[in-house]
Structure 1
Amino acid sequence: MAESRLIQGRYRLLERIGRGGMGEVWRALDESLGRQVAVKCLKPMGPRHEPSYLRVLRERFRREARVAAALQHRGITVIHDFGESEGVLYLVMELLDGRNLSELLEDTGGMPLALPVILEIAEQVAASLAYTHRQGVVHRDLKPANIMRLADGTVKICDFGIARLGDSLSYSSSFSSRLTGTGIAMGTPHYMSPEQIGGGPVDHRSDLYSLGCVLYEIATGAPPFDMDDAWAVLVGHRDTAPERPRTHRPELPEAFERIVLDLLAKDPDDRPPDAADLHGRLLVLEPPDRLARLATVHRTLPETRPRPVRASVRLPEPRLPGWARNMTTGSKATGPGPRTAPPPDPAAALTGAWTAGPTGAAEPTGLPAPTRGSGTGPEAVPGAGPAAGPEAFAPPAPEAVAALVARHQEGLRLGRLGRWEEAGRAHAAVAADRERLQGPEHPDTLTSRYEAAFALSMLGRPGEALREYARAASGRERVLGADHPATLAARQETAYVLGQLGRHFEAHDVYAAVLAARERTAGPDHPDTLRCRHNLAFNLGRLGRLEESYRMACEVAVTRSRVLGPAHPDTLVSRYEVGYALGQLNRWTEALQTYREVAVARQRVLGAGHPDTLAARYETGICLGRLQRSAEALGLFRDLVDERTRSQGPDDPDTLRARHCLGVNLGRLGRWEEALAEARDVCAVRERVLGADHPETLVSRREIAVGLGWLGRWTEALAVYREVAQARQRVLGADHPDALTSRNDEAHCLEQLGRSTEAVELYRQVAAVRRVGQTRGRPLHR
């Protein structure tokens, strides 16, 4: 392959930039997209190798590709593609501009790195490991050469070459036995955990030990067991306590030394329980020369085990890593219906993940569904303030608190798995027990109420969620203060569920108040401020204030582009909203261009098959249909149906939306028999999956009536239109825009059947309801 210099007719190798145990890494040009990438190639395998050896190498390489490609986090190297060409396996990755930690140490002549740099590296690696461990992935070869620091300060973990899924973490598994049986090194001696050396069970805590070795080395200039003989190094890891880092470098903070020594504990149970806990401990460390900046940094810590909070002791505000300041994700305002959320991340307020969820007929219907924001509760905020009523509630036994924490974490795990019914029950039970043991306004109790409310919102039960959010918000305001980030987070979620309930005027007032508080306390460019402005822009659209919505969405997109970069996921979410606002203003040509740009950027960052890339392509198809370019739209939706079916299944709501739009465009092309058949199929699946009265089921049923009308079968069409109208009135109310549209559909059908008197009376009734709604100031459009 090196002779041809071209892989799969696409990746042209330019220069070799590295060699490793598994092969070579090349700088290459992706001729399809015109970008430079890194291509990792397994060394050419000649006949001198045993077939079993080659088979295991292939299996291991493919496993690396599958595991690494599934990881989506700022601190993990992005995998673009993988495959086999001319007998050689290859992996295509983002090309990183930076130096790995081994090279940084070489640059200093073997001297340790500066303390601020060490802390930045430690924080980011801990956040990345917390994410990968939540995905069930253990790296197992963490070392300085596999940690890259980029020019902008971003730190990325590279080469998940011997990572494996958590379901097979025992060395005794058949696959691991095959690997170790070939003599393939499973780890690097200077950074291997004692359990890894001894062949015992290995889990995420092994990575924490390896990270301790890395931090020891970059802080002192040498690894904890710095001997030439590999066996002596392994024995040192297994049997010998490391020297304290401050022995080599006295100016290191004692708290940092304690963290490193905890990571290097021989027994995994004596190490930090997980990387999220480690991340929380690192965030409150601050070198003396940077303490003055703490007053300007506003951020809540990730969810970790609660620590005792005393009124007389306040820990310093945690600081952000350099690359992460002013970054965000978090809740985006959407319309009614359940939300989807990715697993929380230790840097949840810093990374850019989102899940698209357009709904409805052949029209754009709003933003991608939200991800979890920061501010999940004072449980994550050491020093956030005292619990309410300490005189009334004696401190509970430590074992009781630990049990509650374990149950709380189990609730979070259930949520990450999408098991929201179980998660909601778990959080509600924990909230009740915390209230009994710690009091109704203890920060931990309020955190559990917040999580219970979030689960209810995810289940599409906004009324119940609103009550829980209101209790959490009012309690946090009394305990923490009106402007505390956790209080504002609960109030912002209150606004979100008000929007779910169609109470957009009230939602607007809450968003506006929260935005004013965020601007006052955190500044106009802070991540939480931008998130709130983003939500407010969407809500303005729901109120019919389309020009204001469009202007605000543009402002947020421009600010995020400046602060985060034009290709950052949050920037793209805001540009997606700009496209939606343009569509609402019937500026479909501009909306089409915007959605296409977002789709291209998401494909470049996330890949062609990522759900968010597909969401932008879906909206592109909507725009094409609106512009009467139905042949192009039809082809796009056929591709989307295939890709959604393959990746998400035939019954997934997104697959069904794409099929619905395919049918709509068949109709626009005059292919009404095919359109009617597609509408019937989609309606049947939606009724089975979502229920007979679900809004999307009713949209499909209406499309059946449209097809029947175009085929001249007006009597059948009238019956279906009436079914839809009655269901919408029952579910949405007689004055809801969709219910009124269905009544108009009925009237049109009556006209076609020659029943003009009935049609006129129905038109009159609809007009009267619309006038009443406009007089009351209720928005009658989406």
Structure 2
Amino acid sequence: MAAGHHGNHQGPGGAEEAEHSTLIQGRYRLHELIGRGGMGEVWRALDESLGRRVAVKCLKPAGQARDAGFTRILQERFRREARVAAALQHRGVTVVHDFGEHDGVLYLVMELLDGRNLLQVLDDARRHPLPVPDIIDIAEQVADALAYTHAQGIVHRDLKPANIIRLSDGAVKICDFGIARLGHDIGFTSRLTGTGVAMGTPHYMSPEQIGASGEVDHRSDLYSLGCVLYELATGAPPFDLGDTWAILVGHRDNVPEPPRATRPELPVDLERLILDLLAKAPDDRPQDAADVGGRLKALRAGTGSPHTGAGPGPARGTAELPGWARQLTTGSAAASTRSRHTVNAPRHELTGAWSTRALQAGPRPGVLTELADRHAEGIDLARVGNWRQAYDLHTAVAAARDHAQGTEHPDTLASRYEAAYCLTGLGRTEEALQLYAYVGETRARVLGPDHPDTLAARHEAAYALGLLGRHLEAHQEYAEVLAARVRTTGPDHPDTLQCKHNLAFNLGRLGRTAEAHTMAVEVAEARTRVLGAEHPQTLVTRFEVGHLLGASRRWAEALDVYRDVAAVRTRVLGPGHPDTLAVDYEIGICLGRLGRSAEALTLYENLVEARTRTAGSTDAETLRARHALGVNLGRLGHWERALAEARDVAAVRERVLGHVHPDTLVSKREIAVGLGWLGRWSGALTVYHEVADAREQVLGPAHPDTLTSRNDEAQCLEQLGRSAEAQILYDRVAAQQQNGPQRL
């Protein structure tokens, strides 16, 4: 067993530890010392209140902490940092259960882990470097955890092998978030001269941590990760010079020896990533952990991994844990999903079919390779959401390829395709649709109508049509692409199933719910057979099955489906992952529709807390959860609380989204509902009227939501005894409804 943290030295584990039975705060019984380091000790303990085994880290302040004023400051900083650590909810971060102070000792209660830290792993191997698949697997998991924590604005500051634990099942967890800064406060710093050196461990410190003027941000953690990977790959850290000051000077001034100088079999791309992470200037390193993760995934696909075997791409028919699971993102509602058809085929040779001017003059040596590298860089930028930069880069590469290879060369079209993908990410869907249409038509002429790249462009065009609400046109496009996919690659090919999934989604948006449900069930069964029951694409389709069951008011069946999906995501991703929380939201909807509002209320209270902790109080999903919480408060008759919740949510949405945004208006309508149930009809009428006017302005007088709001107004007028005015509104609604459904 291993604690949530390992110090650099293990405790002796003799009779003294066996006999120790200190009880902290009347709850945590310390049993065995399992780690000791500069900042304190780690004990295996029992939480006697819950009966679970935990690790307790005891932090002992240095002598200056005896000063009462300093002690108060230290205690407050400890509480702040411990709250930060406790709020982190990610499978790659050690869970902090509790914290406090006992007899002058600060303590953290953490999960007790079954594994070894990387320092111990290397020592067990007698400092021999790890196999390449293990290095990539560990690096990918650490990068994923850092991407999460950095998104929360949290920098580790002391990432090192001793703070990274590999569990017996292969999972990796980072320990001691917030503790490095806390250690500086306590007095256990790594300063060598008294000034000028920030907190950190010398072998893994970034250059900016060494100088007092250096600004430390998330890129410092990436440098430390580079040091860790260098050590895993070679058996020694990059500047293993013995003298501490020489180590620091090495980080600041020296160029590290390339890892392949001592281990030639290392993949070139892995060496390049490690050296990029070890760049002296933060601006010269990868700019975020998600970028690092993307490069590692590409490397894993090329070299094999311990999860998927040696071949490129995922193994068919396997669950692929945990590699694919770390990329599972679906959003909070059932949705059509974008296929990512990036052209990875070998670069096309120049022929007269595409470019006569290229044959006449020819590009300068190396230009095509340079453009291919820039194209790949654009894909990486898009992968981490840098849509503007990615779009600009793809547009520039497309222009250069046009000049070098010709307007209709497949490489030029590939860059146009990626530029269109970025336009969708930027919300410029109409422009994206036009560009996809151009690429699809040109590819059909140059490559053939059934070529995979032609079908990829047409698929994305259909997706854009759906985003624009043009579902009938999207349906026709999806249907034609699906027929071609079945004809060319077969009914069970992943691309065929992706198209069929989106076609099912689109059928639902056309109101053809029964057909959509039948097709979604077929896709879910096929994906289960081809990809496995726990593959993310299988789960996305099952999520859509649940949504369609709900649309058919088959709430009990929908609840069963959502709960199955939630169980898998909880096991694979953890209970606090956004995708797990997305299913929880839908479970709450089902419970409310089934009249089980008390259960729904409890679920939404927990969901609001989790969303606030992970995404913030103004996040759209947090506000959706709060809205649903208010609805269930009303269903249970707690109208004062429901009204207060609706007002709070409406105020935030108005500030963040604007006063006529549909979500803002939904919240305002909920305010009116609450006022009505409390008998405050005059106030309700004012709000209903405001919502109806706003919807009429934005959606038009005949939109169903506008008509619903006018009906609300009329009912309010009746309650106030103003029946004649109510009848006028009812007549207006009836007249609009006689015009038939409006195409929006």
With normalisation by structure 1, the TM-score equals 0.64
Partner of 1:217: 231
Task: Establish whether residue 451 from structure 1 lines up as the match of residue 428 from structure 2.
Answer: no
Alignment map for 1:395-544 (pairs within 5 Å): 439=402, 441=412, 443-444=414-415, 446-456=417-427, 462-463=429-430, 466-467=433-434, 470=437, 494-510=461-477, 535=502, 537-544=504-511
Equivalent position SS for 1:456: coil
Partner of 2:13: none
After superposition, the Cα gap between the structure-2 partners of 1:235 and 1:478, relative to the gap in structure 1 and judged at 3 Å, is: farther
* Aligned pairs, number: 694
Offset of residue 47 of structure 1: 7.3
Q: Is the 8 A contact 2:328 2:579 kept in 1?
A: no
Partner of 1:21: 38
Q: Is the 8 A contact 2:391 2:419 kept in 1?
A: yes
Which whole-Å deviations, capped at 9, do the CAs of 1:77-119 have from their partners, x for residues lacking one? 2435443143544445555444333333333344333333334
After superposition, the Cα gap between the structure-2 partners of 1:680 and 1:287, relative to the gap in structure 1 and judged at 3 Å, is: closer
Which whole-Å deviations, capped at 9, do the CAs of 1:714-751 have from their partners, x for residues lacking one? 99989987876676566446775545656776888899
Aligned AA for 1:188? T
Equivalent position SS for 1:214: helix
Offset of residue 280 of structure 1: 2.8
Cα separation, 1, equivalents of 2:684 and 2:208: 70
After superposition, the Cα gap between the structure-2 partners of 1:437 and 1:730, relative to the gap in structure 1 and judged at 3 Å, is: same
Offset of residue 297 of structure 1: 1.6
Q: Is the 8 A contact 2:501 2:520 kept in 1?
A: yes
Partner of 2:327: 351
After superposition, the Cα gap between the structure-2 partners of 1:267 and 1:611, relative to the gap in structure 1 and judged at 3 Å, is: closer
Task: Establish whether residue 280 from structure 1 lines up as the match of residue 291 from structure 2.
Answer: no
Q: Is the 8 A contact 2:190 2:197 kept in 1?
A: no
- Unpaired runs of at least 5, structure 2: 1-16
After superposition, the Cα gap between the structure-2 partners of 1:751 and 1:162, relative to the gap in structure 1 and judged at 3 Å, is: closer
Partner of 2:554: 587
Offset of residue 451 of structure 1: 1.8
Q: Is the 8 A contact 1:79 1:91 kept in 2?
A: no
Equivalent position SS for 2:327: coil
Partner of 2:4: none
Aligned AA for 1:280? R
Q: Is the 8 A contact 2:336 2:502 kept in 1?
A: no
After superposition, the Cα gap between the structure-2 partners of 1:548 and 1:85, relative to the gap in structure 1 and judged at 3 Å, is: farther
Of residues 141, 146, 169, the one that matches 2:158 is: 141
Task: Establish whether residue 104 from structure 1 lines up as the match of residue 118 from structure 2.
Answer: no
RMSD, aligned CA: 6.3
Q: Is the 8 A contact 1:602 1:612 kept in 2?
A: yes
Aligned AA for 1:187? G
Of residues 100, 104, 123, the one that matches 1:84 is: 100
Q: Is the 8 A contact 1:385 1:480 kept in 2?
A: no
Identity of aligned residues (%): 56
Aligned AA for 1:351? Q
Partner of 2:3: none
Equivalent position SS for 1:148: strand
Aligned AA for 2:159? L
Partner of 1:113: 130
Aligned AA for 2:425? F
Which whole-Å deviations, capped at 9, do the CAs of 1:473-508 have from their partners, x for residues lacking one? 667888999899998776555444433433334444
Cα separation, 2, equivalents of 1:117 and 1:533: 37
After superposition, the Cα gap between the structure-2 partners of 1:179 and 1:288, relative to the gap in structure 1 and judged at 3 Å, is: closer
After superposition, the Cα gap between the structure-2 partners of 1:521 and 1:351, relative to the gap in structure 1 and judged at 3 Å, is: farther
Q: Is the 8 A contact 2:21 2:31 kept in 1?
A: no
User: Greater CA deviation, 104-113 or 280-289?
Assistant: 280-289
Aligned AA for 2:55? V
Aligned AA for 2:327? T
Cα separation, 1, equivalents of 2:675 and 2:227: 70
Q: Is the 8 A contact 1:663 1:675 kept in 2?
A: yes
Q: Is the 8 A contact 1:375 1:486 kept in 2?
A: no
Aligned AA for 1:695? P
Offset of residue 572 of structure 1: 7.3
Cα separation, 1, equivalents of 2:141 and 2:658: 44
Alignment map for 1:313-392 (pairs within 5 Å): 323-325=321-323, 327=324, 350-353=326-329, 355-356=331-332, 366-367=333-334, 375=340, 391=357
Cα separation, 2, equivalents of 1:647 and 1:616: 16
Task: Establish whether residue 188 from structure 1 lines up as the match of residue 196 from structure 2.
Answer: no
Aligned AA for 1:217? E
Which whole-Å deviations, capped at 9, do the CAs of 1:596-627 have from their partners, x for residues lacking one? 78778888988888876766565455444433
Cα separation, 2, equivalents of 1:30 and 1:469: 59
After superposition, the Cα gap between the structure-2 partners of 1:537 and 1:3, relative to the gap in structure 1 and judged at 3 Å, is: farther
Q: Is the 8 A contact 1:450 1:468 kept in 2?
A: no
Which whole-Å deviations, capped at 9, do the CAs of 1:428-454 have from their partners, x for residues lacking one? 766666665554746455434422321
Cα separation, 1, equivalents of 2:52 and 2:440: 48
Q: Is the 8 A contact 1:126 1:279 kept in 2?
A: no
Q: Is the 8 A contact 1:355 1:612 kept in 2?
A: yes
Cα separation, 1, equivalents of 2:105 and 2:525: 44
Cα separation, 2, equivalents of 1:614 and 1:137: 22
Offset of residue 455 of structure 1: 1.6
- Unpaired runs of at least 5, structure 1: 166-170, 300-319, 329-349, 357-365, 417-422
With normalisation by structure 2, the TM-score equals 0.67
Q: Is the 8 A contact 2:133 2:305 kept in 1?
A: no
Task: Establish whether residue 695 from structure 1 lines up as the match of residue 655 from structure 2.
Answer: no
User: Greater CA deviation, 556-565 or 136-145?
Assistant: 556-565
Which whole-Å deviations, capped at 9, do the CAs of 1:558-582 have from their partners, x for residues lacking one? 8999999999988876665555444
Aligned AA for 1:541? G
Alignment map for 1:291-310 (pairs within 5 Å): 296-297=312-313
